[in-house]
Structure formats: C-alpha cells, structure tokens
C-alpha cells in the first residue's frame, strides 16, 4: 500500500507518495542517488485512488515506486519524464 503525505505551504500543496516498502532505502546508479527518506515521505497508508486524487489537487508532487506507473496511466505524469534508479521509478511534477 502506498504512503501518502500532503503538506500545504502558503498557496502550494506538496504531495509525496511512495511504496511503503521503499521507506528508508537509498538507490544509486552512477552519479544518481535516490533517497526515500522517512522524514520526507512518511505519511499515511492510502489507496491508489486516494493518492491519484491528492495528485490532481496538488501543485507539486514527488513520487517513488509503483504509484508512478499509476500516475502515467492517468495522464498525470509524462512517461518520458520518469527516472529509474536501480529499477525504481521516480517522477516529480509542478503545476503553475
């Protein structure tokens, strides 16, 4: 089940979503390092539908793991903008 965290900072809504089993892990590939820190990503367990809803309402998003593929299927993330580090998908978005 994904971990979802929503933070409101002024006018911005930051959503972070990651697979729960990735929390606290770090992935490296060449010069690229992806750290899935509990401090940044730990939130509450949520369904994929809840995560997608939160992403639609967010101005900034940071996604790690299987939720990236769900976001691509929903048209929220361009598949060409997905980064993979040791096979783990990562994507970010900003809405202006």
pLDDT at 96: 83
pLDDT < 70 stretches in the chain: none
pLDDT at 25: 97
pLDDT at 1: 87
Q: What's the rounded Cα separation, in Å, for the pair 28 and 26?
A: 7
pLDDT at 33: 96
Q: Under CATH, which number does the domain 2-94 receive?
A: 3.30.1860.10
pLDDT at 59: 97
């Amino acid at each position: 089940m994904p971990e979802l965290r929503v933070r409101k900072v002024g006018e911005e809504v930051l959503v972070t979503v990651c697979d729960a089993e990735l929390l606290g892990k770090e992935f490296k590939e060449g010069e690229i390092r992806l750290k899935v820190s509990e401090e940044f990503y730990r939130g509450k367990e949520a369904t994929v539908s809840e995560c997608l809803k939160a992403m639609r309402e967010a101005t900034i998003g940071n996604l790690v793991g299987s939720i990236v593929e769900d976001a691509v299927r929903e048209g929220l993330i361009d598949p060409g903008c997905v980064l993979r580090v040791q096979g783990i998908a990562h994507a970010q978005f900003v809405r202006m």
